[in-house]
């Protein structure tokens, strides 16, 4: 393994992974294949763009020619697939692109991995495929996805397994928790709340705010993928969690306290339809490979908050474009009918 194709490498976790792999593997090349959807952003890769081991190709994972051309031109031996539509709320508004990219796109990549006899196909997946859980999910637990996003991701995972069993494609899958850190598009709750707080805009908290997520720092996520690429067993799935389960209200409190902002900014708004109350992962299998999350919840969140404070150039640009239209659709009516809430 030395020539990686990182699909979705211009997004949040993908771009951090590109940086991580270039830093940790001097003799690897990293080619990004990315469609540059609303979530893809070459600003995320600015600091590596002059590295001779890095290349960028604009293309769609649903297009077999785009994929084959990239594999051939860059002598790829390994695909790491981060490319996806990733936001649950958008999948509720319109799931079409989720099925295309997360299911059909995964199929196209698997076909190419088979055709080119790649050394490895690695799928980036999510804890959301297990659905709302009442105890930490293990890798053998049933997949009971409940949002269109999670259903599309689970379908991708099933196809990966099918290509391993049927066509002997050497696959691995990681299923990770909610990830935070630099370059996350400000639609996900943490960057949305940090940037809204920095602008003294309301923080729209869904429902009672007692939903639980497990929080993982992005470099811990990247390290886990690196470990699985090198030590993971072919055909296996690995859960990657932060062991940092918190209610959403606790996340809000830390953001407000760290930024020294008033709790009056928090607004209780209409809940998300089908909102999963809890995600949680058992990470024993990753621990057995020697990996563990290095960041506590407080460290993960504080580092993330500081990055957004110091990099307004990055997020202000995003928040002034098409984003406004999305924001109005998602939050306009909700905020007009919201209530103040004490957190």
| Binding stretches for ligand TYD (CB under 6 A) | 88-89, 178, 188-189, 192, 204-206, 211, 213, 248, 272
How many whole angstroms separate alpha carbon 188 and alpha carbon 272?
A: 13
How many whole angstroms separate alpha carbon 212 and alpha carbon 247?
A: 4
Q: What is the x/- site pattern for ligand NAD, positions 228-257, by CB under 6 A?
A: ------------------------------
Q: Decide: is 84 part of the binding site for ligand NAD (CB under 6 A).
A: yes
Residue (of 103, 100, 143) closest to 123 by Cα position: 103
Say which entry of ligand NAD, ligand TYD, none residue 222 contacts (CB below 5 to 8 A, set by partner kind): none
The active-site residue, picked from 128, 214, 243, 276, is 128
Burial (0-12, 13-18, 19+ Cβ within 10 Å), 54? buried
**Could you tell me the smallest distance in angstroms from the CB atom of residue 127 to ligand TYD?**
8
Read off φ and ψ for residue 199, nearest 5 degrees: -95, 10
Residue (of 3, 106, 124) closest to 55 by Cα position: 3
Decide: 136 and 282 in contact? Cβ < 8 Å.
yes
Q: Decide: is 307 part of the binding site for ligand NAD (CB under 6 A).
A: no
Respond yes or no: is residue 149 known to be catalytic: yes
Q: Which of 4, 19, 22, 34 touches ligand NAD (CB under 6 A)?
A: 34
Q: Which of 5, 6, 11, 255 touches ligand NAD (CB under 6 A)?
A: 11
**Could you tell me the smallest distance in angstroms from the CB atom of residue 270 to ligand NAD?**
23
Pick the closer one to ligand NAD by CB: 175 or 267.
Answer: 175
The active-site residue, picked from 121, 130, 149, 185, is 149
Alpha helices per DSSP H over the chain:
12-24, 64-73, 88-93, 96-99, 106-116, 148-167, 189-198, 218-231, 248-259, 284-288, 297-310, 312-319, 323-327, 333-336
Pick the closer one to ligand TYD by CB: 168 or 210.
Answer: 210
Residue (of 120, 2, 109) closest to 53 by Cα position: 2
Pick the closer one to ligand NAD by CB: 176 or 203.
Answer: 176
Stretch that binds ligand NAD, among 37-45, 203-211, 226-234, 273-281 (CB under 6 A): 37-45
Q: In what helix (H) or strand (E) does residue 30 lie, and over which residues does it extend?
A: strand 29-34
Respond yes or no: is residue 128 known to be catalytic: yes
Read off φ and ψ for residue 287, nearest 5 degrees: -60, -35
Pick the closer one to ligand TYD by CB: 67 or 192.
Answer: 192
Pick the closer one to ligand TYD by CB: 63 or 250.
Answer: 250
Respond yes or no: is residue 47 known to be catalytic: no
Percent of the chain as helix, strand, coil, to the nearest 5: 45, 20, 35
Pick the closer one to ligand NAD by CB: 72 or 168.
Answer: 72
Q: Decide: is 186 part of the binding site for ligand NAD (CB under 6 A).
A: no
Q: Which residues bind ligand NAD (CB under 6 A)?
A: 7-8, 10-14, 34-37, 39-40, 60-62, 82-84, 86, 101, 105, 124, 126, 153, 176, 178-179, 185
Catalytic residues, by residue number, are 127-128, 149
């Amino acid at each position: 393994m030395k020539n990686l194709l990182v699909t979705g490498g211009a997004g949040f976790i993908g771009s951090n992974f590109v940086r991580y792999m270039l830093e940790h593997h001097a003799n690897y090349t990293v080619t990004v294949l990315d469609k540059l959807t609303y979530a893809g952003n070459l600003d995320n890769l600015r600091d590596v763009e002059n590295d001779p081991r890095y290349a960028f190709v604009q293309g769609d994972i649903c297009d077999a020619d785009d994929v084959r051309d990239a594999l051939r031109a860059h002598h790829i031996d390994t695909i790491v697939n981060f490319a996806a539509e990733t936001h649950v709320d958008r999948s509720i508004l319109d799931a079409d692109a989720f099925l295309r990219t997360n299911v059909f796109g995964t199929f196209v990549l698997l076909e190419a991995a088979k055709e080119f006899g790649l050394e490895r196909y690695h799928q980036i997946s999510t804890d959301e495929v297990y659905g709302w859980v009442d105890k930490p999910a293990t890798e053998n637990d049933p997949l009971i996805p409940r949002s269109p996003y999670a259903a599309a991701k689970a379908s991708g995972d099933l196809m990966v397994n099918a290509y391993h069993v049927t066509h002997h494609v050497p696959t691995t899958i990681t299923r990770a928790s909610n990830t935070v850190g630099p370059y996350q598009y400000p639609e996900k709750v943490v960057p949305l709340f940090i940037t809204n707080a920095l602008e003294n805009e309301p923080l729209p908290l869904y429902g009672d705010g007692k939903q639980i997520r497990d929080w993982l720092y992005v470099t811990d996520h990247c390290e886990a993928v690196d470990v699985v690429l090198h030590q993971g067993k072919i055909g296996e799935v690995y859960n990657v969690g932060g062991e940092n389960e918190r209610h959403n209200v606790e996340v809000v409190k830390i953001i407000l306290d760290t930024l020294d902002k008033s709790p009056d900014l928090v607004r209780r708004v209409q809940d998300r339809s089908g909102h999963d109350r809890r995600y949680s992962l058992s990470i024993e299998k990753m621990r057995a490979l020697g990996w563990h999350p290095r960041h506590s919840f407080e460290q993960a969140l504080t580092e993330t908050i500081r990055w957004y404070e110091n990099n307004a150039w990055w997020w202000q640009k995003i928040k002034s474009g098409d984003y406004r239209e999305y924001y109005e659709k998602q939050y306009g009516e909700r905020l007009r009918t919201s209530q103040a809430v004490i957190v």
